[in-house]
Amino acid sequence: MSLALAVTMLLGVGFAAQAPDRLGRIDHLFQQFVDDDRIAGAVVLVLRDGKPVYDKAFGWADKEAGRKMTTDTIFRIASQSKAITSAAIMSLVEEGKVAINDPASRYIPGFAKTTVALPGEGDVKVVPARRQITVRDLLTHTAGISYGTNLSIASQYESKGLGPAAGFGWYTADKNEPICNTMETLATLPFVAQPGESWVYGYNTDILGCIVERASGMSLDEFIRARITGPLGMKDTQFYLPAGERDRLAAVYSSGSNGKITRAPDGARGQGHYVDGPHRSFAGGAGLLSTARDYAQFLEMIRRGGEVDGVRVLSPRAVALMSTNQVGTLHSPNGLGFGYGFQTTDRYGANGMESVGSFGWAGAYGTTYRIDPKANMVTVMMIQMLPNTSGVAERFSATVYQSLLDVPVK
């Protein structure tokens, strides 16, 4: 069966006759970006009602080696790890081993007394935090914890192997120590805002990963495998790749000053240590590898309220907490919110054409994903660009949504 016919049959009469041609605009978009050397390659997957209506690979997994992109290519998903770690925490909340309002210090004692670096002229003033940081603060990125690259604190973080010393701040795959050791070090450093007062993106989910380990008595990779990736059949989602599978891992490229790609260097600001390296730091905020199909399976479980293919990971109520704005206007005054692990779209137009009630996030290597409950849709787009100024993600979203002729806007 052709893709166009499958799409038409799947979406039914409400999906007008020209819609397959509209969906085909995705082909043109990604092929043009590859031809123009703005990306090396990509994998694009769209599910509706749990079934793939678009599943294609474009360009190169490794252009210099002549290795083409395939739909089972493995990608570094960076901050897309956060959703999985947040689901792991919610699993422990449901079990009664963790509470949303628990202080982080219950699991990592160093967080009992944290400090905040106040912005100002001249010397930085460091003051005690007004209250303890909670699990809720960490899930919503309202703990005041950045990635340590802020000018006011960068030198202190760098001296402890974090911030500027950790790639672009979030990278720990080269560390020869467990993630809890790194988070204990983090607790000794000043943060950039008082708990609960600002939305600050940073090491929050890495701290949650340590809390998973301390509350469960298992390493984060074991816990995720036992509770999430194993039951869901996500065999290609893991923190490090066996050496025998290195040829399945996409190479990383960078956006040059002229917009054309250049191959990223080895090390923390490029290819990373996901095959060769210590394999000891299981960073819940940015450490996982995955494929588009694997990650879509996780998202489909979330879209269906915590269960897919007869496997229940979370309850519908836990998923609702994750996908509902919990921070008011702290994340954005313009219609975007943040739940327990996902950015939420609360106003039509706040994030392109996507429906109100949609949610998702992205990763530093250029990967992105969304769940749209109104359209019964999951979208995943995987590239490997660091830094990434290609602009392909926003265009991808537009080309998907312009093809949805059967879904009311409001």
Phi/psi of residue 28, nearest 5 degrees? -65, -45
- Tell me the per-residue pLDDT of 344-379, one tens digit each, with 9 for 90 and over: 999 999 999 999 999 999 999 999 999 999 999 999
User: 75 forms bridges with which residues in the sheet?
Assistant: 290
Written as six digits, the tokens of 101 are 């309002």
Lowest mean pLDDT among 118-122, 135-139, 159-163, 267-271: 118-122
- Confidence band (pLDDT; 50, 70, 90) for 119? confident
**Run of H or E including 8:** helix 3-11
- Tell me the per-residue pLDDT of 230-250, one tens digit each, with 9 for 90 and over: 999 999 999 999 999 999 999
**Whole-number Cα distances in Å, 33 to 26, 117, 264:** 11, 42, 18
Where are the strands (E) in 10-50, listed by range?
41-48
Question: Is 316 strand, coil or helix?
Answer: helix
- Tell me the per-residue pLDDT of 204-218, one tens digit each, with 9 for 90 and over: 999 999 999 999 999
Written as six digits, the tokens of 32 are 């043009």
How far apart CA 328 and CA 18 sit, in angstroms, is 40
Q: Is the pLDDT of residue 154 over 90?
A: yes
- Tell me the per-residue pLDDT of 51-67, one tens digit each, with 9 for 90 and over: 999 999 999 999 999 99
Phi/psi of residue 80, nearest 5 degrees? -65, -15
Written as six digits, the tokens of 8 are 């038409």
How far apart CA 85 and CA 210 sit, in angstroms, is 10
Report the pLDDT value the prediction gives residue 8, as an integer from 0 to 100.
Answer: 39
Phi/psi of residue 302, nearest 5 degrees? -65, -45
- Confidence band (pLDDT; 50, 70, 90) for 409? confident
Written as six digits, the tokens of 134 are 């909670």
Report the pLDDT value the prediction gives residue 121, as an integer from 0 to 100.
Answer: 63
Q: Is the pLDDT of residue 3 over 60?
A: no
How far apart CA 101 and CA 392 sit, in angstroms, is 39
Contact 90, 82 (CB under 8 A): no
Q: Which residue type sits at 247?
A: D
- Confidence band (pLDDT; 50, 70, 90) for 406? confident
Specify the domain boundaries for CATH 3.40.710.10 within the chain. 3-80+224-401, 83-219
Determine the average pLDDT of the residues in 140-163.
97
How far apart CA 86 and CA 98 sit, in angstroms, is 12
Cis geometry, peptide bond prior to residue 128 (ω within 30 degrees of 0)? no
CB-based contacts of 343, cutoff 8 Å, min separation 6: 331, 336, 337, 359, 360, 361
- Confidence band (pLDDT; 50, 70, 90) for 12? very low
Report the pLDDT value the prediction gives residue 4, as an integer from 0 to 100.
Answer: 39
Domain 83-219, CATH 3.40.50.720 — does that match? no
Q: Other CB atoms closer than 10 Å to residue 298's CB: what's the count? A: 24
How far apart CA 395 and CA 127 sit, in angstroms, is 44
Written as six digits, the tokens of 315 are 């309850």
Contact 42, 69 (CB under 8 A): yes
How far apart CA 303 and CA 286 sit, in angstroms, is 22
Q: Which CATH number fits domain 3-80+224-401: 3.40.710.10, 3.40.50.720, 3.40.50.620, 2.60.120.10?
A: 3.40.710.10
Does the pTM surpass 0.75? The reply is: yes
Q: Hey, what's the torsion of the CAs at 283, 284, 286, 290, to 10 degrees?
A: 110
CA angle 127, 129, 135 (to 5 degrees): 155
How far apart CA 196 and CA 32 sit, in angstroms, is 44
Report the pLDDT value the prediction gives residue 7, as an integer from 0 to 100.
Answer: 41
